[in-house]
Amino acid sequence: MSPFFLEAVAADNYVAFTFFIGTMAMMAASVFFFLELNNTDKAWRTSVLVSGLITFIAAVHYYYMRGYNLETGDSPTFFRYVDWLLTVPLMCVEFYLITKKSGGTIGLLWKLIFASVVMLVTGYLGETILKEQSVLWGVISGAAYFYIVYLVWFGEVAKLATAASPAVAKANKTLGWFVLVGWAIYPLGYILGTPGGLFGMVLVEDVAAATGAMDIIYNIGDAVNKIGFGLVIYALSRSESK
């Protein structure tokens, strides 16, 4: 067995352990979604397939993030953003797919994807290359985030979901909570990691421990946000088929 494996399952390395569990959970979820495609109505197959793609992409990234973390002891910020850049737009695709039958347009799809890419690219700039202006980039990223929240809760997505069916409306509400509460952990992590800490206060003295804690929170949050999100879509596909 590789020493990395042993280190990852060492009882005191919680950060690496959550990367390990994350990989397994995302893999298991992907297998589940892919195998369930056979039992899914044609009209809902693409939605369930996208759920599986989201967790599959995350599983591969978690595998790499675990190795990176074990080798360097650092946060795999770059891999996280690559993972988000692929999975968050796919989550936006889910909103388009569930509202397509009631009039969701390609225009709406692009609005959602564009907002998510702006949110992530500006967030990455603020967290890495342009750290001195992290507040500015964080605010731009946050505006794009709230635009997505707005679309899902009150805008086009909400209206089309209500028009589609009670089951779609209900699922959209649940997905809306994921976006509003589940996704909020990421900007919180960004704020805590910003130089000077939250609102200029120095909150933590042990930066390495704080970074590790943040990784654990992201890892748990990711599992909830990606697998949970996929399961809401899966449940909707069941309630809408015979």
Residue 3: CB minimum distance to ligand RET, A? 29
Residue 213: CB minimum distance to ligand RET, A? 16
At position 172, the amino acid (one-letter code) is N
C-beta closer to ligand RET: residue 58 or 164: 58
Contact 152, 178 (CB under 8 A): no
Distances in Å between the Cα of 202 and the Cα atoms of 23, 118, 185, 209, 216 are 33, 28, 19, 14, 21
C-beta closer to ligand RET: residue 6 or 129: 129
Nearest to 229 by CA among 166, 186, 180: 180
C-beta closer to ligand RET: residue 59 or 161: 59
Residue 140: CB minimum distance to ligand RET, A? 8
Nearest residue to ligand RET by CB is 123
Which residues contact ligand RET (rule: CB under 6 A)? 84, 87-88, 119-120, 123, 138, 141-142, 145, 183, 186-187, 190, 222, 225-226
C-beta closer to ligand RET: residue 100 or 226: 226
Angle at the Cα of 236 (from 156 to 241), degrees rounded to 5? 115
Residue 5: CB minimum distance to ligand RET, A? 25
C-beta closer to ligand RET: residue 16 or 58: 58
Nearest to 166 by CA among 239, 234, 232, 92: 239
Residue 52: CB minimum distance to ligand RET, A? 14
C-beta closer to ligand RET: residue 67 or 187: 187
Three-state SS sequence of 160-177: HHHHHCHHHHHHHHHHHH
d(CA 224, CA 231): 10
At position 127, the amino acid (one-letter code) is E
Residue 165: CB minimum distance to ligand RET, A? 25
